């Protein structure tokens, strides 16, 4: 069986990018923009382009670098483009679900890129079916498309305002018509979306790192509930809900976002490094060196090292050239699984006491094997420090959380987890510490705290009705 | 045009792996072994397996994870296996040149895996043609195959002894017959090859990291000029040249080898970290922090940090999910090239003075652009430190060195290079410092010192005759 | 440029097949059924299967034998299946337009296979858009799907009855739900659809040859306007319009249908052979032999030979192994185009007078080059006989007729055509003769006579409104 | 399991084509030439081109139309080209065995295309191995290449003369160097090869139909043992063995050659038609009509009809659009196998007595099922007539004959065969009748008569030694 090579992490759902420019080759810039957002989804990639009259589309399964070649990009000529990279849970990993979704409506042809998850999608889908809609895919994006198409607004933006009232959950959308690029963020701002500029031209992106990659700059985040309309006359902001408090998914700060991205005017890298510092304050340790689970644990490990004065060393090295998939080792070759990606540096580790820093634990399988390997290599003590609180609750907004049976944090106390993974000591950053590290407020911390921006009982009730309980 | 995503490095040629085992599924272990050697070659991969009578082969262009699937590995049943990953220079990147090379001779069917480069291959090729040989590929491997096939020895090992006298240059070979696995290293030991064990079974590999990946352990390096014969009765060593001084390519320590590999009983990681310490001793600097060009520059940067007391921070982050290829940015999008792979952390860098550590400079294009981007991000001072001496001379033993016009170190003094790349100061680790860092002696340092293990004038003369001067 | 290898023929649009059986492996029988219908469409193929709860789908571009393999068929387990082969006009040859179309509605999940063309599809599509539908493809099938989904009927069959009243044009549909297989033919029966049996199980197919191929037998044609419902309780017929006169596309008899199919209880082969006999009666000729343009002209040529007593000989031979596509010869290699597919048998032809029989002339390019080649080979006289009347009018029901500028029959008199293609004499079978040959009545002969089963002015008017005039 | 769609025929091995022309795009003409030879091999295709200095090659598994596209042909620029289509027996159907074989020797780079089979290839291969040759493929072509490379001749043509003395068996070769095209036919002329012209330029081909397809003309067959040298100065003939009697494989006349090809100045079509006439003379029958097993049985059926006065009708129709492969019906679907390709025209057949003409019977499985289906369709009497004698002996010259256990003609008398396949009467054309039909003499009739052009005992002895008895 083939298996993706992944750390023990929650999985992001998607990345979106859009640009309008009379001068630039918009498909090329979108290509590089998606390249920078590749960490948000590696299963499919797509770009749609409008030349002012028609919309052209290319999408396929695979990485951005695999899906597109020169000839394809050249065919996608135009002055507006939007693109999408997708992560999908198993079963629906099919090109029919790849995005952008391009469809014809009475508002003309529309391309739709969606990052997020509707909490009420089954309700909406059934309601739409009752009113005669057909669904050819299994993605929420098609639900949004169907709602837009039957909106009553005189123009598309009016319709978007109306439709957004009915969408419960997390969504960051880029909508492209033949002459317009529209960015929309849900009223809680759960999923990120930001506005950038290159020369005089505007861009939209899930993360600011894409702007820098193409040579542009970040202007600001799209506000919660904001509708941003970009056309030849420039950029217009609509705030149908007025100014609202943001509830950005805190996992963007913990892990999802690229460290070089800026959200809430804050560097994700600096926030993660600060988390390491606070982690030391909350759970100090003395050891010969601080070691990270590369690459994502490194910023916090460096912060921990800085705060504690314990030197930072690499005790684990990554295989730099692994592709996306490999043949899963059989049961009696289980050890191979982790060592394909990470190997222990015995010379660094032998006889030493270690602070091992990672950014999260979901199922705990990876960290358990790493600690076992570190011990085999002669590590004296292993003090595990996690730069975020345990994941205890499900996510209703598009993040693929495992069932509670698999969620280590939901079943065991911190001490029990420490014993389970065979650490000499263990410490999880507190939620307060995490928020302090971000230097900001206004997050959805549902999976850590059980406090969601929307009424969970209502959602749970509805989900039960729909026969889809918490996974 | 499609372009591979590569740092400004010399390029390794190949990795080889072999195993004999009655119990293990040898093709599966070879698969994971090649996975661990993927950094030595990403263009093609292949595995040949013997079931005691016949040899089966599968090879194709692509990464190990792309070339093989479950069904293919299952078809490759047997008790001996050898595999190969290949890096190739452009023009010959063709499946016909992929390895193992399987061919029928009077010694039976043979599979041959080769890492290295023959200095006298054109001479040998012509000589063989004069005696009636045909060549279907452009790789040296086929020359070695043709020589083995026309050897006079009673058995293959005797023939190998004879043939090895005529091969000038660098080679690490794994040869598989229907019932035997043979490892050979050139008399100078320029390319690495080592012996490992898993249970009672023996393995051969370019690097020891492959042994650990499959759950085995390193026994020792193959000696220079040694012929190691593995069959059902165990392992036999032949030393036709007696004990010889090793002249291992020093770039295995600088960059080629994986940091978790052991060569000459020395950890490559520790050697690289020590190089960073000595680099500080030779070219001290004061700055706000030490920053590496990830990932390969990091061990030396940490060593530099440790020796200097200047904290180690990440100022550059890598895009974790780039695939192997991408569409090359056009001329006026040149900046995109570097930023697709590395991005500057402005918050870390702004207003700070930096020691930037990398492990080598070949053409200088990457480091120049990185420094320019660091300055744009607000870096105050940039002190460039390279943990190896400049590459000044060509390699005659299989490493793809650029022409002298492109070799920065061959055309400019260190100070000039510092100015060219716009560093505030620059320092290259001395050759003595580098050797000290390895804690060992017995290297080929030809590309750094111009001193080669074989008579260069002779090689140069011959190459001139062959119309193939130094590239 | 790549080009399909096609005779100078009108192009069929699609073939459909369906089966319900508790015992048989329905996907396999559908596979072989589509194999038999391959002549109706070579661009894409697809099969959907219901296991009583869920519907599984596989479709892709290519021939049936290319699109499916063992593993895919095995995955498609169930007790009801429907399949589709598609011919498409250029521009929309895209997998998104491949069928079956599977979509979710309030009636559950539905698979839809469609052969035909709606005359009022643009009107319906716009109307549906006005009411909020979205369209992701460019095929009429999606229009029908959208109409079914918003029908008011209590059950699907009631809805189908209602919807069928709004569909103007030609359609033969197979609709599959989780527990039912439904066949529908338009009220004029323009496109064919028939009912077959294998053991106790029922099948639906565009042509009866598919029943024989899978080992079953033809029961009867579906009646014009009939809705045939197949489920576990057996087969039910609905005739919402009562008994109606059929207006089957006469090109099914001339060329589209496979010669071994039965339509209107008549063998297409015998009808074509009889056409050749009547052709002799109407346009006698004396010559040394009768020659056909293989393969489709052969039955009529044999009929002509039988009636005239002139022996039938092969003067042209086909290249038996041509694939579907080839690189189009450049302008100065134009002669190659025809000779890749057909070659003249000089020894048969030299010095002889020939009756050359083909089943239709559309653009005339092929027959002109064949006659030229026959003359070069030494043919003395060439009497061209066409076993159908000239195509003069457009088809509004799904056949891809060229523009009037390209339609030879629309621009020139028979004599002029004879001169244009350089025939010594020419004769087209009369429409009366053609109908006599079929031994039946009740055809749409629109493209030959200009008499359509529906009001053309109305269609033309609507088309003009829609900006889509006669092509 | 996938299965090729084939009649019950002996299998041809290969087709070759070559051209030298300063003006024409030689790769394009070779492409079309191979297209015309596609019937001689459908497994792989390849073209090599010389631009006067270098040789470029493209080859792959698949039909000519699949292996090449515009871009590939354009890359293959030059003034000499040779190409190959291959049929292979199972097991070796691998791209490594595709041709042309391009290899470097002391005579420079050579491209080699081979049609035929060496009777002494195992002997030669072993001898070459003893002298130090290596073999990377399993095809005889590599043996010939190795022999050419070690020849003693001053130039290649001298060496070819020498080497051809050692090659026992059947071969038609096209050899291309950087500036020359050479055609060679074995001393018995067992496999065909002929010379053509287009403008002032010369071509070589297995069959003349390829010359006509590209717009050229046949000059003459290459003589047995002749070496034809084509270069810028024109064409030169070498006859190292003097004039020799030809022993062309008679199956080229029976089935292999395309009917529109000319061999021995005789039309294969006319020869086959005459065979049908003689067949009637030898085995008359009275029936309602003569029916062929299409397509290859048709010329003889027409001849039979002409001689007997019994009308020729089509009782079996072919599926025109079958691809090369399909999923093999399972055991209990065995009937489907034949009906996928051929269907009975019940209306033609019912109540009639039939003369069924085919060109050969090898295993008898197809004809047995056809007769069974004809009877089910109501045929009254079926008189089977085969326009060639039974295949009784093995072929040593490259034709893939089944084992004697499978060869119907080797195990049963004609009467027994008639009963086995359930024919009312049966007649095989006599060998004398077959030769008379060709109007020529000088054939290898080994598989029909057991009389081979070379000493069979010698071959058999050698084969026994080599452990490769008659298959």
The ipTM is: 0.89
State the Cα–Cα distance between residues C187 and C169, nearest whole angstrom.
9
D147-186 pLDDT per residue, tens: 999 988 889 999 999 999 899 889 999 999 999 999 999 9
In this prediction, residues A253-272 reach a mean pLDDT of: 96
Q: Which among D260, D318, D325 has the least Cβ separation from residue C345?
A: D260
- At A33, the pLDDT band (50, 70, 90 cuts) reads very high
B273-301 pLDDT per residue, tens: 999 999 999 999 999 999 999 988 999 99
Peptide bond into B168 cis (omega under 30): no
Averaged pLDDT score across all residues of chain B: 89
- On whether the CB atoms of residues B112 and B71 are closer than 8 A, the answer is no
pLDDT-wise least confident of A10-14, A109-113, A416-420? A10-14
| End-to-end Cα spacing for chain A | 24
Please judge whether C149 and A136 are an interchain contact, meaning their C-beta atoms are less than 8 angstroms apart: no
- On whether the CB atoms of residues A274 and A303 are closer than 8 A, the answer is yes
Torsion of CA C296, C300, C302, C305, to 10 degrees: -140
The residue that leads in pLDDT, C24 or C234, is C234
The residue that leads in pLDDT, C236 or A332, is C236
Residues 6+ apart with CB under 8 A from B285: B308, B310, B355, B383, B385, B425, B427
Q: Which of A363-377, B66-80, B414-428 has the highest mean pLDDT?
A: B414-428
Smallest CA–CA separation between B418 and chain D, in Å?
44
The residue that leads in pLDDT, D436 or D90, is D436
Long-range (24+ apart) CB contacts under 8 A made by C398-401 are C398/C13, C398/C115, C398/C116, C398/C117, C398/C169, C398/C170, C398/C191, C399/C10, C399/C11, C399/C12, C399/C13, C399/C117, C399/C249, C399/C251, C399/C447, C400/C10, C400/C11, C400/C13, C400/C87, C400/C89, C401/C10, C401/C362, C401/C447, C401/C471
Chains with ≥3 CB–CB distances under 8 Å to C? A, D
D304-313 pLDDT per residue, tens: 999 999 999 9
Chain A residues within an 8 Å CB radius of B311? 305-306
In this prediction, residues B401-416 reach a mean pLDDT of: 85
3-state secondary structure of B15: strand
Burial of C75 (0-12, 13-18, 19+ CB in 10 A): exposed
Q: Which among D35, D63, D347 has the least Cβ separation from residue C267?
A: D347
Please judge whether B343 and A1 are an interchain contact, meaning their C-beta atoms are less than 8 angstroms apart: no
Res D41 pLDDT > 70? yes
In this prediction, residues D365-388 reach a mean pLDDT of: 94
Please judge whether C134 and A102 are an interchain contact, meaning their C-beta atoms are less than 8 angstroms apart: no
pLDDT-wise least confident of A285-299, B392-406, D31-45? B392-406
pLDDT at residue C211, as a whole number = 96
Chain D residues within an 8 Å CB radius of C305? 311-312
Res C5 pLDDT > 80? no
pLDDT at residue D208, as a whole number = 97
- From residue C216, give the alpha-carbon distance in Å to each of C29, C78, C195, C234: 10, 19, 11, 17
Q: In C119-177, which ranges are E strands?
A: 169-176
pLDDT at residue B230, as a whole number = 98
State the Cα–Cα distance between residues A245 and A231, nearest whole angstrom.
27
Verify whether residue B14 is a known catalytic residue: yes
Q: In C51-147, which ranges are E strands?
A: 55-61, 80-86, 101-105, 108-118
Please judge whether A325 and B32 are an interchain contact, meaning their C-beta atoms are less than 8 angstroms apart: no
- From residue B387, give the alpha-carbon distance in Å to each of B257, B343, B374, B382, D258: 15, 22, 20, 16, 71
Pairing verdict, β D234-238 and D227-231: antiparallel
Residue of A263, A299, A303, A339 to mutate for B, most B C-beta atoms under 10 A: A339
Chains C and B touch (3+ CB pairs under 8 A): no
State the Cα–Cα distance between residues B249 and B40, nearest whole angstrom.
14
Res D352 pLDDT > 50? yes
Residue among A269, A377, A356, A371 nearest A305 (CA):
A356
B66-82 pLDDT per residue, tens: 899 888 899 999 999 99
The residue that leads in pLDDT, B469 or D97, is D97
Averaged pLDDT score across all residues of chain A: 89
The residue that leads in pLDDT, A298 or B42, is A298
Residue among A336, C70, D60, A88 nearest B71 (CA):
C70
B28-65 pLDDT per residue, tens: 999 999 999 999 988 899 999 999 999 999 999 888 98
Please judge whether D132 and B145 are an interchain contact, meaning their C-beta atoms are less than 8 angstroms apart: no
State the Cα–Cα distance between residues D408 and D402, nearest whole angstrom.
10
* DSSP single-letter state for residue B79: S
pLDDT at residue B82, as a whole number = 98
3-state secondary structure of A262: strand
A384-440 pLDDT per residue, tens: 999 999 999 888 887 777 777 778 888 999 999 999 999 999 999 999 999 999 999
pLDDT at residue B365, as a whole number = 84
Positive or negative torsion for Cα C140, C145, C150, C153:
positive
A170-180 pLDDT per residue, tens: 999 999 999 99
Burial of A336 (0-12, 13-18, 19+ CB in 10 A): buried
Active-site annotation of A, residues: 14
Residue among B401, B389, B391, B394 nearest B437 (CA):
B389
pLDDT at residue C42, as a whole number = 87
- At C91, the pLDDT band (50, 70, 90 cuts) reads very low
Res A441 pLDDT > 50? yes
C319-348 pLDDT per residue, tens: 877 666 667 777 666 667 677 888 899 999
Averaged pLDDT score across all residues of chain C: 89
C364 sits in the region (left: phi over 0; alpha: psi -120 to 50; else beta) called left
Please judge whether C348 and D269 are an interchain contact, meaning their C-beta atoms are less than 8 angstroms apart: yes
The residue that leads in pLDDT, D407 or A64, is A64
State the Cα–Cα distance between residues C189 and B24, nearest whole angstrom.
66
pLDDT at residue A401, as a whole number = 73
Q: Which among C101, C106, C133 has the least Cβ separation from residue A149?
A: C133
Pairing verdict, β D101-105 and D80-86: unpaired
CA gyration radius for chain C?
A: 23
pLDDT at residue C8, as a whole number = 66
Residues 208-247 of B with CB under 8 A from A: 209, 212-215
Residues 6+ apart with CB under 8 A from A360: A8, A9, A10, A254, A255, A386, A387, A388, A391
- On whether the CB atoms of residues B279 and B302 are closer than 8 A, the answer is no
pLDDT at residue C348, as a whole number = 94
**C123 in contact with chain A, both atoms CB, cutoff 8 A:** no
Smallest CA–CA separation between D239 and chain C, in Å?
31
Concatenated DSSP letters of A358-415: ES--SS-HHHHHHHHHHHHTT-SEEEEEESSPPP-S--SSS--PPPTTT-HHHHS-HH
Please judge whether B327 and A209 are an interchain contact, meaning their C-beta atoms are less than 8 angstroms apart: no
Averaged pLDDT score across all residues of chain D: 89
The residue that leads in pLDDT, C319 or B8, is C319
Res A303 pLDDT > 50? yes
Residue of D nearest to C4 (CA): D65
Q: Which residues pair with B33 in a beta bridge?
A: none
Please judge whether A213 and B343 are an interchain contact, meaning their C-beta atoms are less than 8 angstroms apart: yes
pLDDT at residue A467, as a whole number = 40
Count of CB pairs separated by less than 8 Å, B with D: 68
pLDDT at residue A227, as a whole number = 97
Please judge whether A101 and C136 are an interchain contact, meaning their C-beta atoms are less than 8 angstroms apart: yes
Share of chain D above pLDDT 90, in %: 69
H or E segment to which residue D71 belongs:
helix D70-75
Chain A residues within an 8 Å CB radius of C102? 136
- From residue C74, give the alpha-carbon distance in Å to each of B382, C57, D327: 63, 12, 12
- From residue C98, give the alpha-carbon distance in Å to each of A67, C37, C60, C137, C144: 21, 16, 7, 9, 15
Residue of C nearest to A130 (CA): C106
Chains with ≥3 CB–CB distances under 8 Å to D? B, C
pLDDT at residue B8, as a whole number = 66
Q: Report all structural domains of chain C as residue ranges with CATH numbers, in order of start.
A: 12-247 (3.60.20.10), 266-439 (3.40.50.2020)
Chain B residues within an 8 Å CB radius of D146? 132, 134
Res D91 pLDDT > 50? no
């Amino acid at each position: 069986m083939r298996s993706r090579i992944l750390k023990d992490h929650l999985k992001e759902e998607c990345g979106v990018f859009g640009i309008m420019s009379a001068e630039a080759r918009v498909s090329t810039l979108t290509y590089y923009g998606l390249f920078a957002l590749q960490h948000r989804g590696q299963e499919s990639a797509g770009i749609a382009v409008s030349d002012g009259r028609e919309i052209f589309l290319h999408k396929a399964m695979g990485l951005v670098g695999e899906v597109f070649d020169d000839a394809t990009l050249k065919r996608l000529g135009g002055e507006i483009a939007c693109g999408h990279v997708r992560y999908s849970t198993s079963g629906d990993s099919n090109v029919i679900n790849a995005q952008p979704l391009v469809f014809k409506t009475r508002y003309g042809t529309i391309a739709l890129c969606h990052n997020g998850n509707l909490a009420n999608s089954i309700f909406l889908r059934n309601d739409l079916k009752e009113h005669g809609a057909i669904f050819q895919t299994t993605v929420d994006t098609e639900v949004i498309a169907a709602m837009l198409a039957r909106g009553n607004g005189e123009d598309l933006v009016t319709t978007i305002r109306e439709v957004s009232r009915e969408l419960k959950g997390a969504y960051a959308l880029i909508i492209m018509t033949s002459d317009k690029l529209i960015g929309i963020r849900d009223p809680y701002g759960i999923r990120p979306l930001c506005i950038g500029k290159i020369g005089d031209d505007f861009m939209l992106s899930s993360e600011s790192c894409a702007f820098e990659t193409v040579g542009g700059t970040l202007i600001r985040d799209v506000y919660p509930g904001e509708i941003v309309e970009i056309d030849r006359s420039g950029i217009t902001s609509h705030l149908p809900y007025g100014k609202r408090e943001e509830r950005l998914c805190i996992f963007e700060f913990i892990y999802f976002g690229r460290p070089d991205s800026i959200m809430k005017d804050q560097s994700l890298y600096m926030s993660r490094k600060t988390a390491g510092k606070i982690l030391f304050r909350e759970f100090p340790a003395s050891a010969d060196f601080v070691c990270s689970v590369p690459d994502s644990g490194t910023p916090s490990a460096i912060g921990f090292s800085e705060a504690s004065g314990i030197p930072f060393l690499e005790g684990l090295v990554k295989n730099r050239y692994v592709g996306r998939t490999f043949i899963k080792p059989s049961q009696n070759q289980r050890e191979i699984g982790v060592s394909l990606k990470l190997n222990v540096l015995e010379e660094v580790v032998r006889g030493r006491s270690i602070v091992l820093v990672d950014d999260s634990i979901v199922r705990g399988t990876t960290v358990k094997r790493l600690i076992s390997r570190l011990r085999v290599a002669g590590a004296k003590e292993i003090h595990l420090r996690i730069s975020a609180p345990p994941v205890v609750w499900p996510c209703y907004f598009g993040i693929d959380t495992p069932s509670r049976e698999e969620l280590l944090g939901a079943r065991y106390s911190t001490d029990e987890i420490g014993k389970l993974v065979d650490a000499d000591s263990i410490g999880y950053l507190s939620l307060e510490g995490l928020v302090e590290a971000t230097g900001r407020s206004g997050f959805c911390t549902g999976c850590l705290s059980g406090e969601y921006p929307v009424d969970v009982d209502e959602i749970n009730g509805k989900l039960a009705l729909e026969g889809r309980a918490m996974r």
